[in-house]
Structure 1
């Protein structure tokens, strides 16, 4: 409903949503050009891309390495990461299934996380008390998630051939006991550069950005930042940057996500296309600067 109201006030957004619905009509290139223009308000430069967003669209089309499929699969990526940096950074897996009906909820602990391995949030279940869990709704949500063709939404090629499954993981919480701070490290050909920290995701999502020395950066991408909200430098920052380097070597751009719990690092995920390459930068100069760090 919220999307519909916004679309009625913004004709370009309405067209964007229509193109999304009719995405099957368009080739990858045409679809990305249409979405970029309708979302960003300017033509997509694929011949000589300059900005971060433009180069991410270029990479979707022309940087299709087979290993990327494993790297975005929330199940298979654990093998990749364990081999690269060690199993001690992997969040424990409680189970893997092809369908919701295969899940034996009695065998799961009181607290756990259920999610699809191929998308970003649709079907996610964060269970804090199994006795209060609406299992029927959880299964319905997971079924909806499994039906989602995540590649089709923004033509992020790595997701195209992921075998869709469900994974259960141990529920991890930090010192707050409420949610995890998500440290997202932007890496360019193996070089960690800036760190994004998301917080208050359920009550007014915000993001702060920091450099490698943990200086606050005047940068916003899609969500507001708050300099007055001081996020302490994690004790494991140096280790996080080292592991990010190892995971991103030889890749033009990838975001390596970690959680820091009681000074212990845990791997989150790898993301090749931040905000699908359609993020709004404030100030806009950052779009060009980060783009200059991607060699294509």
Structure 2
């Protein structure tokens, strides 16, 4: 069976991630990107003249090599970077850093906290009550994450050379919103085009809305178009202009980065910097949005390396 059919078949299997790491790891990066892109968009990547957002993200994954990416993708090291480049007040305080799960001294942690791995995106556990933690289950989960190099599934180079660790940080709480809203800024070399927010995350049917700096809904996806037609009102958060400024500064000299920020009780906190959203396979964006974002990426900023 050809590789493309194998990958397509795995996507229908519940345990796809572990199978994917085993089967696709030997596949050359460019070949794997071609397969994954074709499965997502039903067309091929134009490597000679990439135009869309997702095409250019493939190009950046394959060719762009900047040590800053490794620092910024490391959820521990990036905190020092943010403190130096922007302000220490944006950094969510760490409560501990460990090389393995069994090093964690839970008796020294507060009753509520967030436990994360620094080198991937899914290694997260929100503890609301220490007495209810399932330690064996958590040990299995985090040990598995520590053994996984997140570069391989989608060939996202920024994650390739991060030494995996576990860390705990303070749990943020807002006096108004039960669910902390994540503001995701789409930034292109100092220019921030838009911010995406996610609501109704725990309903099983999350909604994603795009806004410009004037807090006007943008027709970038179906949810936003529906909200525009329904004249849906979503309250603009305090400090939005400041968040746009932070995202702009963090994106300087970078072809593209999505800067995630929180606004908790009027205080801005840094979340993360993401260089390849959805691995560059986001087919939920409208084609016109995919092309618009693509036009904003200047591939002349790409630093080619191995």
TM-score normalized with structure 2 length: 0.88
Q: Cα distance 1:20–1:41, how it changes in 2: closer, same or farther (>3 A)?
A: farther
- Cα distance in 2 between the residues matched to 1:166 and 1:30: 32
How far did residue 218 of structure 1 move? 1.5
Aligned to 1:264: 267
- Within a 5 Å distance, the mapping from 1:195-234 to structure 2 comes to 195-203=195-203, 204-220=205-221, 224-225=223-224, 227=227, 230-234=233-237
- Counterpart for residue 183 of structure 2: 183
The residue aligned with 1:14 is: 9
Task: List runs of 5+ in structure 1 lacking aligned partners.
Answer: 1-9
Matches within 5 A, 1:1-296: 13-14=8-9, 21-121=22-122, 123-176=123-176, 178-203=178-203, 204-220=205-221, 224-225=223-224, 227=227, 230-296=233-299
Gapped regions of structure 2 (runs ≥ 5) = 300-306
C-alpha distance after superposition, 1:111-144 (max 9, x if no partner):
00001101111x3110011111112222221111
Q: Equivalents in 2 of 1:58, 1:233: separation in Å?
A: 35
SS in 2 for 1:256: strand
Does the aligned pair in 2 maintain the 1:118–1:165 contact within 8 Å? yes
1:48-71 Cα shifts (integer Å, max 9, x gaps): 000000000000011110111000
Q: Is the 8 A contact 1:188 1:248 kept in 2?
A: yes
SS of residue in 2 equivalent to 1:115: strand
Q: CA RMSD in A?
A: 1.9
Give the superposition deviation at 1:200: 2.1
Cα 1:176–1:55 shift into 2, 3 Å: same
What is the CA deviation profile of residues 7-30 of structure 1, one whole-angstrom value per residue up to 9, with x for unaligned ones? xxx998426667665212211111
Secondary structure of 1:217's match?
coil
Q: Is the 8 A contact 1:151 1:159 kept in 2?
A: yes
Kept in 1, the 8 Å contact 2:33–2:154? The answer is yes
- CA distance in structure 1 between the partners assigned to 2:293 and 2:146 by the alignment: 34
1:91–1:57 CA distance, 2 compared to 1 (3 A): same
Cα deviation for residue 192 of structure 1 reads 0.9
How far 1:231 sits from its partner (Å)?
2.4
Question: In 2 relative to 1, CA 86–282 (structure 1 residues): closer, same or farther, beyond 3 Å?
Answer: closer
SS at match of 2:297: coil
Distance 1:244 1:282, change over 3 A: closer
Q: CA deviation at 1:255?
A: 0.6
Greater length-normalized contact order (CA 8 Å, ≥ 6 residues apart): 2
Q: How many matched pairs? A: 284
